[in-house]
Amino acid sequence: MFDLVVRNGLVCDGTGQPARLGSVAISGSRIAAIGPEVGVDVGAARRVIDAAGLVIAPGFIDPHTHFDAQLSWDGLATPSLEHGVTTVIPGNCSLSLAPLRAEHREFLGAAFRQIEELPKSAFDAGLRFTWQTFGEYREAIAPKLGLNNAPLVGHSLLRLYVLGLASRDRASTPEELRALADCLRQCLDEGALGLSTSFVDVDHEFRPVPCRLGTLGELDALCAVLGERGRPLQLVPEFWDADLLATRIDQLAELSLRHQIPITFSPLFESRAMPGLVARTLERLELQAARGARIQAQMQTRPVDMTFDLRGLNAVFSSMPTWMGILLSGQDATRRAFADPATRKKLAAETDTAPMPLALSFSLAETRLTGAKGADAADLGRTLGELARERGRHPAEVLMDVSLAEDLDARFTATDLAQADEPAIGPALRHPQVQIGAGDGGAHVARFATCGDTGHLFARYVRARRAMTLEEACKRVSADVADFWGIPDRGQLAKGQVADLVVFDAATIDRGPEELAFDLPDGGTSFRFVRRSIGIREVVVGGESVYRDGEGYTDVRRGEWIAGRGR
């Protein structure tokens, strides 16, 4: 007798082959059989899911998340599971939560909160550091998992662990480099999937993160360790400049070829502020792929929106030094600056002349007021350009006026900063050197909703634009990701594979509207934006249902810690 049969659905098995009507039978945590004959006798299974009119697909794999902190208090990584995601890869961009010496917890907390834009109250309330090594970190997190966790170890954490705070100031010595390599080997042995690094991130003091003080020789030595195990490297390059990115791709190709490792970088954006960048990047990736290098760019499907306030530093003003200096000086200094006529004039002028931040298509005039409690609440949803014309002011002055009136607690949303050109995005998402990801789940929680890319993929690029088939889309977010990252026994529906699967309605699957939630572990002190799913009917992890549409989450916690296949 089978434990579970998902019967009479359209089976998209993750191979890209044509879907077929059939059923999937599960015994324990593994797929026992697939075929039209399975599940006809409902008495042969302890539980049956009727998938008539629905799609049965492998559980989706999200290759770029920052759920590191959230998994310590929420092993479901909500709302990822609701979008059909059964495996997440955190620890990206050089940042993980281990290995970490006790004396460096305060520094990492401040840096992590700043870079990933997590509220301090939630981070402090939900995260209890009880580990130092990566193995101890695994022991603390693994029992709570409701979905699979395949974490990377951050290069910045390795340097912090070996060099201490000197990692912020200098390169490693030969002796320290050997210790870094040994530390990476230990982390891989204790459960790290691979390594992440960054060439662009800055910490809470606006200083380069520790990995940026490492030399290319140091990175080469660490990639040699990855090559011993066949493990992947993830990194953040200079993604806003086509020439810099092409040069970085050439360097990465040499690392990939020398050490025979897969390398992925993120993000890759299509934006009005950097026309041609995606096409040029794909051309460079094709050139290096012809040499045998395994490099993939990560692209998210959804348009890039960003919600922000002026209570502190944010990426919207990253290319505006006057704004940056004021926002870094604290809220009292910000209030004084916004009230000073000379400073206001300088700030307004800077928004007209500064280059686009991080090459995003940012327009202050098109930015909308989306959060206000006082008199300005009547203008919610309107653009700063509209309000500026009515008030005879510059859009930046309206921004400052509303912020002052709301004691800096007004929220604004800039929309379509990138990835809004759907005709250009569709073909790129099918490119063999592109991986669908870079969604940043678990980070920037008060800026934008970081989940829902899978639903958006099916809704916009399968159903609406017909840029890819249903079978292609299922393969792109399951088997292709599992193959690249070396995630074993997942990504396809086949006998013997782990029974991670999602049942969804191909006619309605989508990302839901953005909602404001106060579900962080600080008792409602801070908020985040979330997107619930549309059309996801049931999600199975390790052979048991973890999420059901209309009922929510079950009590099942069958998630596994995945350390990768490697060589």
pLDDT digits (tens, 9 = 90+) for 418-444: 888 888 899 999 999 999 988 899 998
Q: Is residue 466 part of a domain?
A: no
Residue 94's pLDDT band (cuts 50, 70, 90):
very high
Q: Looking at the structure, do residues 286 and 376 belong to the same domain, yes or no?
A: no
Spatial neighbors of 552 by CB under 8 A, at least 6 apart, are none
Cα-flanking dihedrals φ and ψ of residue 412, to 5°? -130, 150
* Average pLDDT for 480-491: 97
Q: Is 292:282 a contact under the CB 8 Å cutoff?
A: no
Report the C-alpha gap between 78 and 442 in whole angstroms: 9
Same domain, 83 and 163: yes
Can you give the pLDDT at residue 567? 61
Task: Tell me which residue range forms the domain holding 399.
Answer: 310-414
pLDDT greater than 60 at residue 43: no
Q: Please tell me the predicted confidence (pLDDT) of residue 293.
A: 98
d(CA 111, CA 210): 10
CB 408 within 8 A of CB 334: yes
Answer yes or no: do 298 and 318 share one domain: no
pLDDT band at 328 (very low <50, low <70, confident <90, very high): confident
- Sequence length of the chain is 567
Structure confidence at residue 97 (pLDDT) = 98
Indicate whether 176 and 202 sit together in one domain.
Answer: yes
* 156-184: burial string, b at 16+ Cβ within 10 Å, e else: bbbbbbbbeeebbeeebeeebbebbbebb
Residue 73 has pLDDT above 90, yes or no: yes
Q: Which has the closest alpha carbon to 68: 443, 435, 521, 439?
A: 443
Residue at 15 is within a domain: yes
60-62 sheet: strands from edge to edge: 60-62, 85-88, 148-149
Has residue 555 got a pLDDT over 90?
yes
Helices then strands (H, E): number in the chain? 17, 23
Output the pLDDT for position 41. 59
Backbone angles phi, psi at 278, to 5 degrees: -65, -45
94, 132: one domain: yes
CB atoms within 10 A of CB 237: 24
Q: Is 170 in the same domain as 317?
A: no
State the DSSP string of 69-124: TGGGT-TTTTTGGGGTEEEE----TT--S-S--GGGHHHHHHHHHHHHT--HHHHH
Q: How confident is the model at residue 74 (pLDDT cuts 50, 70, 90)?
A: very high
Is 486 within the bounds of a domain? no
Choosing from 414, 443, 475, the residue where a domain stops is 414
pLDDT exceeds 60 at position 42: no
121 and 246 in a single domain? The answer is yes
Q: Is 446 inside any structural domain?
A: yes
Predicted pLDDT of residue 37: 64
Instruction: Give the separation between CA 438 and CA 57, rounded to whole angstroms.
Output: 22
For residue 449, is pLDDT > 90? no
Those residues with Cβ within 8 angstroms of residue 514's Cβ, 6 or more apart along the chain or in another chain: 448, 449, 529, 530, 531
Q: What is the mean pLDDT of the chain?
A: 94
Shared domain check, 428 and 339: no
- In whole angstroms, how large is the CA radius of gyration of the chain? 24
Note the pLDDT tens digit of each residue in 227-284: 999 999 999 999 989 999 999 999 999 999 999 999 999 999 988 888 899 999 999 9
Res 484: pLDDT: 97
Percent of the chain residues topping a pLDDT of 90: 82
User: What CA–CA distance (Å, rounded) separates 143 from 235?
Assistant: 29
Q: Are residues 351 and 230 in the same domain?
A: no
Could you tell me what percent of the chain has a pLDDT over 70? 98
Of 13-27, 36-50, 399-413, the poorest mean pLDDT is in 36-50
165 and 266 in a single domain? The answer is: yes
Place 376 in a pLDDT band, splitting at 50, 70 and 90.
confident
Q: Are 151 and 96 in contact (CB under 8 A)?
A: yes
CA atoms of 69 and 28, how far apart (whole Å) = 30
Q: Is the pLDDT of residue 286 over 70?
A: yes
Whether the predicted pLDDT of 486 surpasses 70:
yes
474 within some domain: no
Residue 101 sits in a domain whose CATH number is 3.20.20.140
Give me the CATH number covering residue 534.
Answer: 2.30.40.10
Domain boundary pick from 400, 432, 451: 451
Give the chain's domain count.
3
Phi/psi for 33 (5° steps) reads: -165, 155
CA distance 348 to 343: 9
Q: What is the average per-residue pLDDT within 46-73?
A: 97
In this prediction, residue 164 carries a pLDDT of 98
Closest to 295 in 3D by CA, of 324, 357, 253? 253
Domain presence at residue 248: yes
One domain, residues 108 and 240: yes
100 has a pLDDT exceeding 90: yes
Q: How many Å apart are CA 260 and CA 60, to the nearest integer?
A: 26
Q: Mean of the pLDDT values across residues 192-200? A: 97
Question: Of 395, 428, 451, which one is at a domain's C-terminal end?
Answer: 451
Query: Which residue type sits at 482?
Result: A
Phi and psi dihedrals of 207, rounded to 5?
A: -105, 155
Helix 242-259, helix 216-229: angle, nearest 10: 40
Q: What's the pLDDT at 1?
A: 87
Mean pLDDT score, 330-359: 91
Query: Residue 511 pairs with which residues in a beta bridge?
Result: 533
- Which pLDDT score is estimated for 353? 87
Q: Are the beta carbons of 243 and 213 closer than 8 angstroms?
A: no
Residues 185 and 322 in one domain: no
Residue 89 has pLDDT above 80, yes or no: yes
Give the pLDDT band of residue 566 (cuts 50, 70, 90): low
Residue 243 lies in a domain: yes
Residue 544, in any domain of the structure:
yes
Q: Residue 200 above 90 pLDDT?
A: yes
What's the sign of the alpha-carbon dihedral 485, 505, 305, 120? Answer: negative
